[in-house]
Amino acid sequence: MLKLTYSDADLLIEQLNLSVEAMVAQRSIVALRAGRPLMVQPGAGSFALPAILASPLAESGLEMAPCDYGWLEITLQGTWLSDDSACAEGILVVELGAALERQIAALWQRSLSWVAAPCSQGG
């Protein structure tokens, strides 16, 4: 399962060895014990990758669209968890198959160094 955590300051993409159902159950228990609301609903989330890094995903069937010069926006459909249904902060959990999830997490990790030094990437 891929876990995309959206905060006001950052995005974190992780691959976890959990099912969506297990993640929702864990978060529900935490929210219940903390006395906090938890909204669970179908949702989508996006993140950007340099087009050159995203190219291995071209045959994956993922939704991709240009978002800036040399960048592609990858949109994933999954389950959105948040404390407010209108909030842009929360967690999107998605099951795509272990191999594709590993690939996406690795490409996103590589993109972090790309953002830090785009001129040195040869693109």
The pLDDT of residue 120 is 46
The segments of the chain whose pLDDT lies below 50 read: 119-123
Please name which of 107, 96, 89, 84 lies closest in space to residue 13, comparing C-alpha atoms.
107
CB of 15 closer than 8 Å to CB of 101: yes
Please name which of 35, 34, 33, 43 lies closest in space to residue 82, comparing C-alpha atoms.
43
The pLDDT of residue 119 is 47
pLDDT in tens, 38-72: 999 999 999 999 999 999 998 999 999 999 899 99
The pLDDT of residue 102 is 96
